A and B are shown apart, each in its own frame.
Chain A
Amino acid sequence: MSLTIINQRRDQQVVGPARVDGFAKISGAALYVDDLPAVDALHGTTVRTAGAGGTLQEIVFDPAINWSEFVVVTAQDIPGINAIKLLENDQPVLVERTFRHAGEAVVLLAHADPEKLRIALKGISLVELPNPSPIFDIDDALQARQEIIPGNIYADYLLERGDVAAGEYLADVVIDERFLTPSQEQLYIEPQGMLAHLQEDGSILMEGSLQCPYYVLDALVQCLGMDKDHLRVVQSTTGGAFGGKEDYPSVIACHAALLALKAGGRPVKLIYERGEDLRVTPKRHPSRTLIRLGANKAGELQFIDMDFAIDGGAYRTLSPVVLSRGVIHAPGPYKCPHIRIKGRAVATNHPPFGAFRGFGAPQSILAMEVAMDRLAKKLGMDPVELRKKNLLCTGDLSPTGDVVGKDCFAHAVLDAALEHTHYQQRREEYNAWNAAGHPTRRGIGLATFAHGAGFTGNGELHLASRVSLQALANGHVEILCSNTEMGQGAATTLVQIAAAALGLPMDSVHLAQTDTSRVPNSGPTVASRTCMVVGGLIQKAAGQLLQRLRETMDLAESYDAQSFAAACAGLYAAGDALVTAHYYPPADMLWDEQTFFGRAYASYAWAAYVAEVEVDMITLETHVIDFTAVQEIGKAVHPVIVQGQIEGGVAQGIGYALYEDVLWNERGVMANDRLTNYIIPTSADLGFIHVVLLEGGLGAGPKGAKGVGELPMDGPAPAIVNAIQQALNIDIRQIPVRPEMLLELTVSGGN
């Protein structure tokens, strides 16, 4: 089997075509939702609950304000169902009586003058009977002394293979740990917002910053009680999302639509400022993991036993799905005969947590990978050695019980990472540095992991995605799909895939604007599925188009742009220039979602990440001096976009490991709701990030491509924690590893 290595160092970078969305964004021509021209628009705002759950008793409108000047919407104005359409109808669009967290929307207001709106906002007071004992902690929720929902459990999963008790009997060395991870904010550059416009025919046009146009459409259908034909959702240029614009745009869209229905045909802009966005939109689930690992003296894993719990917040939203991915990824890329992963998503009075790059996997992978280093330490074995003994190989049984096929590169990525970082040599150098009494300590740490691309198990089958290609009379081809460019480079990648499949230059292929009145539902832009699944469908549709051109327009087997255009013109004139490809799962996809048994994903991407850190012994600040990300991703369709995805994800991962900490006030609302005190790393905080790509060519996507986008969020935190532990000879059980925490650990440790 061939394995191509692309080493994306700056001096030998492999480049690709220019981004199709690049110029408009650089020149400022791209229109984000707040830039969209809207004649005579009203501005919307939201009145929210103050307490962490309770009962709304009364809404008091200040009689001194002339409310007839304003558009005012409450729960009574909802024509359809008062629930945000997601897995369960538990979250109200607007609070009618009971509520579960601070910051729930109760009243919507709109006015042409933002200043009047600001004053009016103060003229509405909510009389609340507050929940006397809100729950904010995962273990408090599990004890269920107060119940938000029965047992406070949204989902309870068990992945079990073998018998942990038997594994315990075989283990010579056992470790038992508890890890905590915090919430994390996506911090897309563009805060969320929607522009709603009631059309003369009574339909609604919704434009906004979003990832999943059909989720928004479905939410509007339910909330407004309107049929799909009267609703049109259009994605405006989206300034980052990272999962944060997967479910919440449905909430803002419902709010904006309700205002628009009463605005007499004037468009309504509902744009969140940064503080509001930080306080109310969903973030990464906090987690608490109890983990026990056992190995024999040779270092072979005998059992993995985990109790993995995530804070789902006050409504179910996507938490069961996040939990499922967290559970499946928990045992890592290791072979182990006895595995028990108990996963629970619990209800608390925090605002609901949601999708964020990695989707549950970064939390459980952190616990597993830091525990692996702890086990290595207890075994007196190098962490690399321990991993080499246990990483999956072709023919092994995976933690979900299927036989690992040829598309397994767990060892290859580790070997490449060791070679590229000169791991052993560095480790010795750092040990020498640390012994020499410098004012800093240095360490090198690693994490090995895999990430499944696409929806879990039968999810892709249920999605039944469709992609169309429209040939135009001039020989150009338009891609019609619901997948969104949000900064990650998907537009370029998809155009590139279509152009390559059709043998056309890239400028003859266009990605149509994501508009539900035109594009079919090709599923949401989530779960590292766009390139692999949707790209695959584009390739398939291209094949269909070529076949039709050959069969009905006599396009020759080899053709030039001119003959292709002529054939397209004919097809176009005949009104038969649209082809649609439908998704069919790979034949060997067998998955039991009750028992977590079978093949969970069409493809896994494999990775080994190495972090090199330096800790200042006076201030205990940690600096990542060098970071190496090695991953096998099947095929890099556009190596620079892939590199950008990985560098950006690693930067977010460094933030997760060292800086980012959502702090909560006593009502469960984000307290550090400003960019001056929610700390993400700047370029000055990042060392070099080396990206090394391996291409095995066996993924389920075009030319063997697999998903890339989430992988870089999984590995940095455990690699960095392991490096710091090595540098300081301490045990870390929580991220972010802030200097304040290191002070406690080093002082109490008698450093």
Chain B
Amino acid sequence: MSEWTRPRHLPEALELLAAAPGQYRVISGGTDLMVESHLAPERHPEFWLDISGLRELQGLQITEEGIRIGAATSLEVIRRHAEVVTHWPMLAASAAVTGAPPIQNRATLGGNVCNASPAADNAPVLLAYGARLEIAHHHGSRWLPYMDFHQGYRKTALQAGELLSALWIPYPPKHSRGYFRKVGTRAAQAIAKVSIAALIEEDSGGMIQGARFGMASVAATPCTLPSVSQYLLGRALRDIADAQVRQRVGQDIAPIQDIRSTTAYRLEIASRLVLEAIHGRSESKKED
């Protein structure tokens, strides 16, 4: 039998975590952990720390640079938030394709990140937007760029006693365009076979000033595409060689064959999606 603790305030939670580092399994919406605990009861932790009662971890605040999203804010709240829909439409979109509405009601953005699945639905968008993490500890907080968070298969930069408290997302640059697409095993309620988000900034002359990509299900962790980004920097769209991009996609990702898809499919579709994101062709319309 496990012990369940539900603190009321963040300092109380941090104190518990600091007093017994590594002992608690932190839980909020439980949409991943409850499934795991049903399927693998032997991995049941002895101590649960339920952070769903911490008001400090809830809600969204607009700041000068962007938005702060409490780590335990539900995906349902995020996808419907007016500012998110206006300024970070890719985040609204990725939250809306995470599981199904009942999942989105419970699942949290912080949970999706900390569960550290290579297929995490909201990771690509957070990487493309250049999110930062606010990580709390009893002895004080620290900041970490989200792109440094995933350190290996299901391994994160969170240290014992630490708690992800918020995600900070800057406003996208003025002349930027976004591209997000999740390719799942079906149209809804799906785990991604490949997913991608891109934020591409062009100057008035059509020169690429910045290109940030986030992908999921193509490596052991959600990942960026550093060599693709580097290749694009300072280049005009018409000077981009598709073969060069494809080659760099191959360098940046390491897709595997698993129960959902093949290496060949993931590699090829990732390249096609990256090219589509760069060339700005909009997603295919289903209507005539």
Contacts and interface: CB of A to CB of B under 8 A. Distances in A.
Given A682-B188, A685-B187, A740 B284 contact: no
A684 B259 contact: no
A487 interface: no
Given A439-B284, A625-B286, A740 B259 contact: no
A743 interface: yes
B189 A659 contact: no
B183 interface: yes
A438 B288 CA distance: 10
Nearest to B183: A619
Given A672-B259, A677-B259, A685-B186, 20 more contacts: A438-B284, A618-B273, A618-B276, A618-B284, A623-B286, A659-B186, A671-B259, A677-B191, A681-B186, A682-B186, A682-B189, A683-B188, A684-B186, A684-B187, A684-B188, A739-B183, A739-B265, A740-B262, A740-B265, A747-B268
Nearest to A655: B186
A659 B264 CA distance: 19
Interface of B: 39, 41, 183, 185-191, 259-262, 264-265, 268-269, 272-273, 276, 281, 284, 286
B257 to A, nearest CB: 10
A621 B183 contact: yes
B269 A618 contact: yes
Contacts of A747: 268
A743 B185 contact: no
Contacts of B188: 682-685
Contacts of B262: 740
A663 B185 CA distance: 14
17 contacts: A275-B39, A616-B284, A618-B272, A618-B273, A619-B269, A619-B272, A623-B187, A659-B186, A671-B259, A679-B190, A682-B186, A684-B186, A685-B186, A739-B183, A740-B262, A743-B265, A743-B268
Contact of B260 (A440, A619, A677): A677
A676 interface: yes
Nearest to B264: A743
Contacts of A663: 259
Contacts of A145: none
A743 B265 CA distance: 7
Nearest to A625: B286
A659 B187 CA distance: 11
B101 to A, nearest CB: 12
A118 interface: yes
Contact of A676 (B191, B261, B268): B191
A267 B190 CA distance: 40
Interface string A679-722: 10111110000000000000000000000000000000000000
The 6 closest A-B pairs by CB, nearest first: A684-B187, A684-B188, A439-B284, A740-B265, A679-B185, A685-B187
A207 interface: no
Given A618-B269, A618-B272, A682 B264 contact: no
Contacts of A621: 183
Interface string A614-642: 10111111010100000000000000000
A271 to B, nearest CB: 15
Interface of A: 118, 275, 438-440, 614, 616-621, 623, 625, 659, 663, 671-672, 674, 676-677, 679, 681-685, 739-740, 743-744, 747
A152 to B, nearest CB: 29
B41 A118 contact: yes
Nearest to A429: B288
Q: In the complex, which of the residues A614, A618, A621, A671 has the most CB atoms of chain B within 10 Å of its own CB atom?
A: A618
Nearest to A742: B265
A118 B41 CA distance: 9
Contacts of A679: 185-186, 190
* Interface of chain B, main secondary structure: loop
- Of residues B188, B261, B273, B284, which shows the largest number of chain A Cβ atoms within 10 Å of its Cβ? B284
Contacts of B286: 614, 623, 625
A740 B261 contact: yes
A676 B258 CA distance: 13
A683 B276 CA distance: 28
Contacts of B269: 618-620, 739, 743
Nearest to A439: B284
A367 B276 CA distance: 37
Contacts of B261: 740
Nearest to B282: A439
A104 B178 CA distance: 53
A684 B189 CA distance: 9
Contacts of A743: 264-265, 268-269
Contacts of A617: 284
Contacts of B41: 118
Contacts of B268: 743, 747
Nearest to A671: B259
Contacts of A739: 183, 265, 269
User: Which residue, A621, A677, A681, has most C-beta atoms of chain B within 10 A?
Assistant: A621
Nearest to A614: B286
Given A439-B281, A618-B276, A618-B284, A659 B185 contact: yes
A617 B275 CA distance: 13
Contacts of A740: 261-262, 264-265
A450 B183 CA distance: 37
Nearest to A115: B41
Nearest to A740: B265
Nearest to A681: B186
A681 B188 CA distance: 9
Nearest to A619: B183
A682 B187 contact: yes
A669 B41 CA distance: 22
A449 B186 CA distance: 28
A616 B282 CA distance: 13
A743 B267 CA distance: 11
B252 to A, nearest CB: 19
Contacts of A616: 284
A111 to B, nearest CB: 16
Nearest to B266: A740
Contacts of A614: 286
Nearest to B257: A740
A438 B286 CA distance: 11
Contacts of B189: 682
Contacts of A671: 259
A671 B260 CA distance: 11
A659 B184 CA distance: 11
Nearest to B265: A740
Nearest to B190: A679
A263 to B, nearest CB: 25
Contacts of B187: 623, 682, 684-685
Nearest to A677: B259
A663 B187 CA distance: 21
Nearest to A273: B38
A680 to B, nearest CB: 8
Contacts of A674: 39
A663 B257 CA distance: 13
Contacts of B284: 438-440, 616-618
Nearest to A118: B41
A504 B261 CA distance: 57
Contacts of B185: 659, 677, 679
A620 B265 CA distance: 10
A740 B269 CA distance: 10
A681 B189 CA distance: 10
A681 to B, nearest CB: 6
Contacts of B190: 679
A625 B183 CA distance: 18
B211 to A, nearest CB: 19
A748 to B, nearest CB: 11
Contacts of A275: 39
Contacts of B281: 439
A365 to B, nearest CB: 25
Most central of B188, B191, B259, B273 by chain A CB within 10 Å: B259
A671 B257 CA distance: 14
A661 to B, nearest CB: 10
